[in-house]
Amino acid sequence: MPRSAPRLPGRRGCRGRLQTAALALAAAGCQAPDAKEHDTLAACSRSAIVGGTPEPAFVRLRPKQFRALATIRTPQSDALCSGVLIGANGIVTSAHCFDRDRDGALDQPLAESIPDAVVTLGSATDPDSPFGPAGVTTLHPHLDVAVVTIVWLQSGAGEFERLPPSTTVPDSTWIGSPVELAGYGATANGAPGALGFVVEELVRIEPDHLVVDGQGRTGACAGDSGGPILTFMEDGAIGVVGILDDGDPSCKGEDYYTRIDRLLDWEPFRSAALPTNSLPGSCDGIARTGMCLRGRAFHCGGDTVVVDDCRIEDRGCGWDEGAEGFRCVSPADDHPCRGFGSFARCEGETVLACVGGVMTEAPCTACSARCEPWVNGTGAACQP
């Protein structure tokens, strides 16, 4: 059933950390061809653990960007939420972390002692993570979003690189595209507190929310509320496109993220998102061969990301033999991979992928596995 703001009572509260089947070694004899060029496409891989992977599989954060992912703990309820640094000293998270009764105002016990709400840049269980009082906290008038100012960060701002908010309004090209969930919530096997990531598919765009689906395998869980979903923005930089609001109680279904573009006219958010040290357009996570994403071709040209909109002049993103990579090409020139794009897909129980300009097929049945989409950053893989 479609959901819309304002949210009704019965929300799951601070959700928890991401769950996913982390890919381990490929089973002998079951790896796809040209593994060096596409080494994450394991045709037959095993799930070593159930829980968020400690490193992102899709967006490839730099060390200073990892430090932009925050935890927030309110002493009155001892509840944990996640958040993300989007400006010089502004954190964005979920409003329900501070508004347990969902009346649109800071809870009275908390409002009288907001400095006792602790923001940690990094895991609250890591003694090396800097922390301090939450400072001024502002709730959005109807969306499940809060902006927290942390003035104590100013002295150490050089150690952190914000994750900027996207200014793009999502359209139909986003449906079916990968995004990376991030948060400090609980795993299936443990308590919250450790940072986890998982790649999921964006399945629906609602007026206030982006909806992702773990398809019974992955998802946000208790403690991930306020955590971001990340993707490559239109200039090639990694940015925040949503903040976790609500989701499936199983932690393996649909999760609802408040759309960042719905906050761009809200003054507290605009002030919090003022630029600080950031390096947009670097090639982190994008190879020279490139990738196809939301109707665009992304590739590394020199030291920066080049983004071409393939929707112009009726082109598409496909394999360019001359460039030896994914670029905007006419349909007639995209014969090596038949318009397949850069992400692996399932066709029945076979993983199909365009690798080095060659279509590859890796049957999962050879290893008594099944093909499942978005179990990693490549688009699909075989899973037991």
Establish if 379 belongs to a structural domain.
yes
Q: What pLDDT is attached to residue 194?
A: 83
- CA-nearest of 47, 42, 40 to 31 is 42
pLDDT band at residue 135 under the 50/70/90 scheme: confident
Flag whether 117 is in a domain.
Answer: no
Residue 328 pLDDT exceeds 90: yes
Domain hosting 349: range is: 21-48+283-383
Does residue 111 form part of some domain? Answer: no
Residue 318 lies in a domain: yes
pTM for the whole structure: 0.84
Residues in contact with 213: Cβ distance below 8 Å, sequence separation at least 6, in sequence order: 200, 201, 203, 253, 254, 255
Lowest-confidence segment of 19-23, 35-39, 294-298 by average pLDDT: 19-23
The dihedral region occupied by 3, where left means phi > 0, alpha psi between -120 and 50, and beta the remainder, is beta
pLDDT category at 139 given cuts 50, 70, 90 is very high
Number of domains in the chain: 1
In a domain, 234, yes or no: no
DSSP state letters, 77-138: TTEEEEEEE-SSSEEEE-GGGT-TT-SSS--HHHHTTGGGSEEEES-TT-TTS-EEE--SEE
What confidence score (pLDDT) does residue 7 get? 35
Q: Is residue 366 in a domain? A: yes
Which pLDDT value is given to residue 256?
97
pLDDT band at 172 (very low <50, low <70, confident <90, very high): very high
81-91 pLDDT, tens digit each: 999 999 988 99
User: Does residue 310 form part of some domain?
Assistant: yes
DSSP one-letter code for 31:
P
Specify the 3-state DSSP secondary structure of 355.
strand
User: How do residues 146-157 score in pLDDT, each as one tens digit?
Assistant: 999 888 887 666
Any domain includes 356: yes
